[in-house]
A and B are shown apart, each in its own frame.
Chain A
């Protein structure tokens, strides 16, 4: 048995990975997680939660992946449904044994300024107006990456 194990451990990783039924053994990067979250839409407006600026924070660790997100309003009954979808999307990127937690937070309150340029263009905001509001040449995409701390600049 020991000999078999030693032989196994000398094989190149590409072959051993196939043997683990689960192909994902590494933690996803923040970009991978964010891309997974882009598949989660608010069906009413047909826009994903990342472009809407609802994703505040992504923390990736071996102990678990934690997402902080909000909804456009606490009066929305869809919170549970969208967080369920988000959890499923992120879990698909995570290796086995790494849990995914989605926290629904209400601070800072969502404002339309948090939307991405793509979303703003889709809803008819002109780029000049959105740049002036965000006070940042790159626009709100930066704020999304940095998380709620960036709201101090407003």
Chain B
């Protein structure tokens, strides 16, 4: 399933590069760049994570269906098959998310379920042959709510603030309200979405445990840096929507708004969490290394170039920025594989030791410094 997910990633990125004007292998799939990335790649990976968390075998149908949707999108079958499979997969994940909510009725499990619902709704619209720009707000909602929900869970480690919880709930309501309204009143609905995204980015910067963990060392600090830099891009997306009167139908402002979330926000999270999700889902260890910062830096710099090209109306600069976005993603995939190989080749240390042990003691040392 992960293989299919990664295949979707490569195809999706290839398709995206083609849309920017490059002569890339994925050129024929240009029109389904969005679906490949959201339902093909993110959908497979996120629903796989959710199935592992739930621990029920039926839930694994979700990533399987999404992987098959990618296959359906590229082989010569009726075009309707891919959206059908993706929609089915998203409904399975919605069911899994609702079971998790029933097990633990908290704001964050509800947020995760609402994210899954937003994804399913977007897939239904895609199935109904709506243009991708109509589907986009729903898919943005899916990704943002999924990540915000998980961060809300971790924010419990910080002292509780009832006011903060109410603000979060209001922002989620505004996000979903805006996304729903965008079907009938696009400008107003997506302006509300822009406000919600900006608000959520500020909330996360304020409330996320990353504010604390960024003072740790090693892997823990790396994860926090990924998170905090991702929140900046979320704010950029929200601001872009506010400045351009909502999410348009295409063009430069649309490119900024969508990719600030999808690349800047979501992929920063992916870079940060791969070193812990990989071992959890695949039972394969990953040794942290400061090299991990390289793809992250590449991603941010290339996004700056791309959005500068969008802002200044320079398609060449946008295209080069996009190309380097792809290179950053490739660097991330190769770096992750290298880390897995390095860990596998490492001779067994003490019984409880693994690649993470040095950073654990670093972390404890840095936390104890905090006490003083």
Interface residues of A (CB under 8 A from B): 36, 39-41, 43-48, 72-81, 84-85, 88-89, 91-92, 106, 109, 111-112, 115, 118-119, 121-126, 129
Q: Is B159 located at the chain interface by the 8 A CB criterion? A: yes
> Which one of B217, B218, B367 has the greatest number of beta carbons of chain A within 10 Å?
B367
Residues of B contacting A: mostly: helix
Docked-complex contact B104 and A112, CB < 8 angstroms:
no
Complex Cα–Cα for A115 and B359 (A): 21
Docked-complex contact A124 and B212, CB < 8 angstroms:
yes
Instruction: Indicate which residue in A84, A89, A109, A125 contacts B104 across the interface (CB closer than 8 Å).
Output: A109
Surface stretch bound by A, among B230-238, B275-283, B330-338: B275-283
Instruction: Indicate which residue in B159, B273, B360 contacts A123 across the interface (CB closer than 8 Å).
Output: B159
Complex Cα–Cα for A46 and B209 (A): 11
| Closest partner residue, chain A, to B356 (CB atom) | A43
Docked-complex contact A41 and B360, CB < 8 angstroms:
yes
Residues of A within 8 A of B53 (CB): 74-77, 79
Complex Cα–Cα for A73 and B52 (A): 13
Surface stretch bound by A, among B13-21, B64-72, B123-131, B150-158: B150-158
Contact with A along B169-204 (1 / 0, CB 8 A): 000000000000000000000000000000000000
Docked-complex contact B157 and A115, CB < 8 angstroms:
yes
Docked-complex contact B109 and A75, CB < 8 angstroms:
yes
Q: Chain B: how many interface residues by the 8 Å CB criterion?
A: 51
Docked-complex contact A39 and B352, CB < 8 angstroms:
yes
Residues of A within 8 A of B217 (CB): 46
Residues of B within 8 A of A91 (CB): 351
How far is the CB of B361 from the nearest CB of chain A, in Å? 8
Instruction: Indicate which residue in B153, B351, B357, B363 contacts A75 across the interface (CB closer than 8 Å).
Output: B153
Docked-complex contact B351 and A78, CB < 8 angstroms:
no
Residues of B within 8 A of A92 (CB): 350-352
Docked-complex contact B154 and A44, CB < 8 angstroms:
yes
For chain B, residues 311 to 342, give those with C-beta under 8 angstroms from any C-beta of chain A: none
For chain B, residues 273 to 314, give those with C-beta under 8 angstroms from any C-beta of chain A: 273, 275-277, 279-281, 283
Docked-complex contact A77 and B281, CB < 8 angstroms:
yes
| Closest partner residue, chain A, to B156 (CB atom) | A112
| Closest partner residue, chain B, to A129 (CB atom) | B159
Complex Cα–Cα for A129 and B161 (A): 12
Given contacts A73-B108, A123-B157, 13 further A-B contacts (CB under 8 A): A43-B276, A46-B360, A46-B367, A72-B156, A73-B109, A74-B103, A78-B276, A78-B280, A81-B279, A121-B370, A122-B370, A124-B159, A125-B158
